[in-house]
């Protein structure tokens, strides 16, 4: 098998949106976890990645052509790897200058299925965009990204994923507390690293040609071929809007709270990215906030779809001039029409996926709007009930097939009457049977529960990776109950007051 060839297609296509930048040389790099399936999918031999040359590649020690440089070898005069610049709205306020502060883009490659993927190294040292940051990443948060990414991927949610997590051999200043932490590098695989914030940066700092080149590149990377109907910019807006609507519907039904949905953490690909202060709901709580920096609850669980649309509106603003250069009013009208499409898309995706979780037939183009609306109404009633009676979000759905769900409610009467409504929506016959049979695949047994994830990361900090491996094993086959992983199934104790402090 030939190793995949790394490119820097973004730097070649988009001027002034990245700088060549060399990753630091870590003193004593070691693999903490290698995603062997993903390695093969990319075209890498996992055994080779474990060798010194593979470790050199995974830590960004590459020559001017992107080939690994053995330990002690000289860094190239002009680095192959790059640091990307972007801007963004952080908690609602524009920040004109952000970027890869502690990461480099190792390159992009064509994977074994013909898809172009980015390889990105987080924790590779300070770059020109580091501002006051130290360029370091601690092991805990990098493992967290790996676990959350694998979990979401296994649940069918578009997401960036970890190819590997390495320790650097350094102890770094803690983000919190006083105990130094192991330094780490996350090797992240993404459909691209184009963010809403990337296009904001271009709109705020670059000329029209550079902005056009960026939109062309984004379109080439993310739009299916041959669909262009209007302007490329408008097509891109439409694609991103739909992809994000689909993503948010999935997050909401899984009880996933991203925690820091700034525009620089929203991709054009529709993949989730930057899982810093994220968490899954235990008890269903619409106002759940797990991030210590989100004091106002801007990114609370129930606020997420609205925030996605807010972010998309900022994205649309950056595209107006490119949509119609002569007639800005016409461009605004067209962009508005696309944004108005977010809600129906979201509701449709949400309805269909909720139906799958409840075992109600609703697939295919034939599922009519009224039926889906009834399913969503039933869902709203359910979530109010779960919230009132402090019922576990994930545990509830799985109990529908595995246990007696009524037993989860202190007062089961409202649940029982709600459930009659579900049975009526389910109906009978072959399609009802099929929907029922599919429920176990829509409702995970294992998600990265806050308490269990935190315990695994604490153990990793102390040098014991076994709990992190067990959690990875659980979430990578999330719907398949295994006796030896029983301890990872429920919410554990104390998760409801869980808070994350780590940055992304």
Q: Which residues are catalytic?
A: 264
Q: Are 203 and 96 in contact (CB under 8 A)?
A: no
Q: Are 102 and 130 in contact (CB under 8 A)?
A: yes
Going by C-alpha positions, the residue among 75, 82, 73, 135 that lies closest to residue 107 is: 82
Partner residues linked to 167 by β-bridges = 30, 184
Q: Min. distance of Cβ 153 from ligand AMP in angstroms? A: 20
Q: Min. distance of Cβ 273 from Mg ion in angstroms? A: 7
Q: Which is nearer to ligand AMP, 98 or 157 (CB)?
A: 98
What is the spatial distance between Cα 7 and Cα 174, in angstroms, rounded to a whole number?
34
- 19, 31, 75, 130: which one binds ligand AMP (CB under 6 A): 130
In DSSP notation, 336-370 reads: HHHHHTHHHHHHHHHHHHHHHHHT----STT--HH
| 255 contact choice in Mg ion, ligand AMP, none (CB below 5 to 8 Å, kind-dependent) | none
| 43 contact choice in Mg ion, ligand AMP, none (CB below 5 to 8 Å, kind-dependent) | none
In DSSP notation, 49-109 reads: HHSHHHHHHHTT-B-TTS-B--TTPPPPSS-S-EEEEEEEEETTEEEEEEE-SSEEEEEEE
Q: Min. distance of Cβ 415 from ligand AMP in angstroms? A: 40
The number of angstroms, rounded, from the C-alpha of 81 to the middle of its chain's C-alpha atoms is 23
The alpha carbon torsion through 50, 52, 55, 56 (nearest 10 deg) reads -160
Q: Which is nearer to ligand AMP, 148 or 249 (CB)?
A: 148
| 263 contact choice in ligand AMP, Mg ion, none (CB below 5 to 8 Å, kind-dependent) | none
What is the spatial distance between Cα 348 and Cα 354, in angstroms, rounded to a whole number?
10
| 100 contact choice in Mg ion, ligand AMP, none (CB below 5 to 8 Å, kind-dependent) | ligand AMP
Q: Min. distance of Cβ 306 from ligand AMP in angstroms? A: 20
| 135 contact choice in Mg ion, ligand AMP, none (CB below 5 to 8 Å, kind-dependent) | ligand AMP
- 8, 39, 89, 100: which one binds ligand AMP (CB under 6 A): 100
Binding site for Mg ion (CB under 5 A): 265, 274, 504
Reduced 3-state DSSP string for 125-154: CCCCCCCCCCCCCEHHHHHHHHHHHHHHHH
What is the spatial distance between Cα 333 and Cα 349, in angstroms, rounded to a whole number?
25
DSSP structure class, residue 298: T
> 419 in helix, strand or coil?
helix
Alpha carbons within 13 angstroms on the beta-carbon side of residue 219 total 21
- 52, 73, 133, 156: which one binds ligand AMP (CB under 6 A): 133
What is the spatial distance between Cα 444 and Cα 398, in angstroms, rounded to a whole number?
7
Q: Which is nearer to ligand AMP, 117 or 136 (CB)?
A: 136
Question: Judged by CB under 6 A, which stretch of 132-140, 143-151, 403-411, 447-455 contacts ligand AMP?
Answer: 132-140
How many other C-beta atoms are found inside a 10 Å radius of the C-beta of residue 374? 18
Q: Which is nearer to Mg ion, 197 or 361 (CB)?
A: 197
Question: Judged by CB under 6 A, which stretch of 98-106, 111-119, 282-290, 340-348 contacts ligand AMP?
Answer: 98-106
What is the spatial distance between Cα 194 and Cα 20, in angstroms, rounded to a whole number?
17
| 490 contact choice in ligand AMP, Mg ion, none (CB below 5 to 8 Å, kind-dependent) | none
- 41, 134, 317, 402: which one binds ligand AMP (CB under 6 A): 134
Q: Which is nearer to ligand AMP, 304 or 378 (CB)?
A: 304
Q: Min. distance of Cβ 266 from ligand AMP in angstroms? A: 11
261 binds ligand AMP (CB under 6 A): no
Q: Min. distance of Cβ 98 from ligand AMP in angstroms? A: 4
What is the spatial distance between Cα 462 and Cα 223, in angstroms, rounded to a whole number?
45
| 260 contact choice in ligand AMP, Mg ion, none (CB below 5 to 8 Å, kind-dependent) | ligand AMP
DSSP structure class, residue 110: E
> Which residues, numbered 274-293, are part of the site for ligand AMP (CB under 6 A)?
274, 276
Q: Min. distance of Cβ 262 from ligand AMP in angstroms? A: 6
Q: Which is nearer to Mg ion, 141 or 478 (CB)?
A: 141
- 4, 54, 99, 478: which one binds ligand AMP (CB under 6 A): 99
- 151, 291, 394, 504: which one binds ligand AMP (CB under 6 A): 504
Residue 369 Cα distances to 114, 164, 252, 345, 422, angstroms: 36, 43, 20, 12, 17
> Which residues, numbered 146-185, are part of the site for ligand AMP (CB under 6 A)?
none
Q: Which residues bind ligand AMP (CB under 6 A)?
A: 98-102, 126, 130, 133-136, 260, 262, 265, 274, 276, 503-504
């Amino acid at each position: 098998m030939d190793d995949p060839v790394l490119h820097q297609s973004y730097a070649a296509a988009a001027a002034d949106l990245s700088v060549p930048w060399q990753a630091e040389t870590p003193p004593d790099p070691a693999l903490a976890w290698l995603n062997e399936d993903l390695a093969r999918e990319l075209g890498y031999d996992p055994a080779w990645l474990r060798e010194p040359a593979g470790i050199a590649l995974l830590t960004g020690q590459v020559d001017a052509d992107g080939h690994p440089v053995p330990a002690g070898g000289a860094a190239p005069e002009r680095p192959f790897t790059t640091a990307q610049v972007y801007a963004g709205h952080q908690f609602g306020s524009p920040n004109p200058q952000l970027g890869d502060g502690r990461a480099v883009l190792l390159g992009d490659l064509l994977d074994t299925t013909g898809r172009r993927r980015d390889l990105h190294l987080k924790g590779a040292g300070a770059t020109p965009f580091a501002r006051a940051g130290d360029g370091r990443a601690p092991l805990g948060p990098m493992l967290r990204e790996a676990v959350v990414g694998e979990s979401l991927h296994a649940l069918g949610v578009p997401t960036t994923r970890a190819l590997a997590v390495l320790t650097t051999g350094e102890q770094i200043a803690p983000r919190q507390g006083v105990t130094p932490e192991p330094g780490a590098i996350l090797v992240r695989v993404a459909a691209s690293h184009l963010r809403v914030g990337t296009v904001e940066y271009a709109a705020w700092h670059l000329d029209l040609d550079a902005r056009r080149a960026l939109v062309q590149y984004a379109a080439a990377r993310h739009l299916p071929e041959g669909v262009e109907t209007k302007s490329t910019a408008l097509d891109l807006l439409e694609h991103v809007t739909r992809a994000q609507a689909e993503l948010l519907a999935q997050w909401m039904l899984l009880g996933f709270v991203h925690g820091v949905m700034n525009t620089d953490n929203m991709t054009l690909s529709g993949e989730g990215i930057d899982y810093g202060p994220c968490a899954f709901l235990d008890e269903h709580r619409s106002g759940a906030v797990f991030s210590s920096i989100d004091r106002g609850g801007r990114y609370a669980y129930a606020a997420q779809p609205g925030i996605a649309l807010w972010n998309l509106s900022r994205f649309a603003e950056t595209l107006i001039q490119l949509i119609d250069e002569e007639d800005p009013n016409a461009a605004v009208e067209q962009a508005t029409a696309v944004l108005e499409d977010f809600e129906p898309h979201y509701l449709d995706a949400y309805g269909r996926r909720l139906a799958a979780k409840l075992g109600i037939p609703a697939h295919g183009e034939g599922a009519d709007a009224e039926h889906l609306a009834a399913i969503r109404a039933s869902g709203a009633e359910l979530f109010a009930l779960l919230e009132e009676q402090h019922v576990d979000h994930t545990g509830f759905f799985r109990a529908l097939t595995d246990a007696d769900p009524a037993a989860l409610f202190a007062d089961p009467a409202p649940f029982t009457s709600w459930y009659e409504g579900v049975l009526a929506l389910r109906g009978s016959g072959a399609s009802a049977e099929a929907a029922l049979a599919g429920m176990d695949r829509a409702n995970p047994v294992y998600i990265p529960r806050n308490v269990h994830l935190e315990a695994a990361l604490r153990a990793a900090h102390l040098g014991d990776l076994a709990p992190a491996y067990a959690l990875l094993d659980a979430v990578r086959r999330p719907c398949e109950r295994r006796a030896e992983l029983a301890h990872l199934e429920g919410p554990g104790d104390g998760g409801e007051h869980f808070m994350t402090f780590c940055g992304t």
